[in-house]
Amino acid sequence: MPTNTPMLSIRNLYFSFDSSNTISDFSLDVEKGSFTTLLGPSGCGKTTLLRLIAGFLEPKSGAILIDGKNQSGIPTNLRKIGMVFQDYALFPHMTVRQNLLYGLNVKKHGRNTPAISADEKNEKITGTAKFLYIDSLLDRFPHQLSGGQQQRVALGRALVLEPSLLLMDEPLSSLDAKLRTQVKDELRDIQKRLGITTVYVTHDQDEALSVSDKIAVINKGRIQQQGTPREVYFSPANRFTADFVGRANFLSADENTMVRPEWISVQKTEPGTYPEDECGRVSSVSFLGAATMLTISTPMAKNGILTAQADSLSADLPAAGDFVHISITRRWHLSD
């Protein structure tokens, strides 16, 4: 097998629960060792795609290949896949050790998998627990762990099986904002150290941009664009991607020209100093910490409103009601 075979290759996949297609003409290659994110709004088909990859659902047409091998007809337990779900699904009445062991005990029922000795199981559990820094927690129950620790146990339960492909469905959604950032960085670090091919699902664009090697932006079961985080952010292929991957402004002069808030610079001025169509009035100011978002009523914007980002510490930060001159420092022309 050539080494450049993608670990996962999804080819022209169609799937439907009822008369309409939930997944349409979906094709995606996931390179070995990469971190690929499926990003899209609620209901766009992300979980359905993971369930198809894992073999819980059968496609209507198209193919799913893992390491070059067509998975049609191969049951979930023989697909070498690890899954981490949104709600962790840890067994509350089992210790961390028993939770980790559970996957190994289930695995031995797979047809082609030889039984694992008790010593081997122990070794795998200890190794995985050390790797995830949960080795001191093996005798605790889930309710005695923090959210981040529970998340690592859920990850451990998937990793102890040494999967070729790790699927994660919104694994951070039940953590608070601070912990989410911390665990997100940990996940990325673990993924890099292990070099495990990962397909990650989120509807959070910031999360997707910060952890992924590649992002597949999805709407209504179809890929809108796939590329690196920088590609989808700076060079969105279409309006949906432009809007979903970050804040996008569209200009009245050419409605296919997209401008990110930080590509706009504003300066307080008096009416009459500049042409009317280069100016606007600040209608609201929203302080976000390092940055401040300004909403500006202006004929420059297609819908009459521009969102601009300013440095919160700027000495002449406009206030609501101020009249401003607007300069655009960068623009991107959409192809559709």
Ligand X SMILES: Nc1ncnc2c1ncn2[C@@H]1O[C@H](COP(=O)(O)OP(=O)(O)OP(=O)(O)O)[C@@H](O)[C@H]1O
Tokens describing residue 237: 């292929």
Q: How far is the CB of 8 from ligand X (least distance, A)?
A: 17
Q: Is 171 in the site for ligand X (CB under 6 A)?
A: no
45 binds, among Mg ion, ligand X, none (CB under 5 to 8 A by kind): ligand X
Length of the chain measured in residues? 336
Q: Which of 22, 37, 224, 292 binds ligand X (CB under 6 A)?
A: 22
Composition of the chain by helix, strand, coil, percent to 5: 30, 30, 40
103 binds, among ligand X, Mg ion, none (CB under 5 to 8 A by kind): none
Q: What residues from 42 to 71 belong to the interface with ligand X (CB under 6 A)?
A: 42-48
Cα separation of 294 and 125, whole Å?
52
Phi then psi for 144, rounded to 5 degrees?
A: -95, 15
166 binds, among Mg ion, ligand X, none (CB under 5 to 8 A by kind): none
Those residues whose C-beta lies under 8 Å from the C-beta of residue 296, and which sit 6 or more positions away, are 266, 280, 281, 282, 283, 305, 306, 307, 308, 324, 326
Tokens describing residue 130: 């050390």
Cα separation of 129 and 109, whole Å?
23
The interface region with ligand X, picked from 39-47, 120-128, 186-194, 282-290 by CB under 6 A, is 39-47
Binding flags for ligand X, 188-227, as an x/- string (CB under 6 A): ---------------x------------------------
Q: Which of 17, 91, 133, 287 binds ligand X (CB under 6 A)?
A: 17
Q: How far is the CB of 49 from ligand X (least distance, A)?
A: 7
Q: Alpha helix locations (H) across the chain?
A: 46-54, 96-107, 118-131, 147-159, 177-194, 205-211, 229-234, 239-244
Q: Which is nearer to ligand X, 50 or 237 (CB)?
A: 50
Whether residue 121 contacts residue 129, with contact meaning beta carbons closer than 8 Å, is answered with no
Q: Is 47 in the site for Mg ion (CB under 5 A)?
A: yes
Q: Is 205 in the site for Mg ion (CB under 5 A)?
A: no
Q: How far is the CB of 43 from ligand X (least distance, A)?
A: 4
36 binds, among Mg ion, ligand X, none (CB under 5 to 8 A by kind): none
Q: Which residue ranges make up the site for Mg ion (CB under 5 A)?
A: 47
By the criterion CB under 6 A, which residues form the site for ligand X?
Answer: 17, 22, 40, 42-48, 203
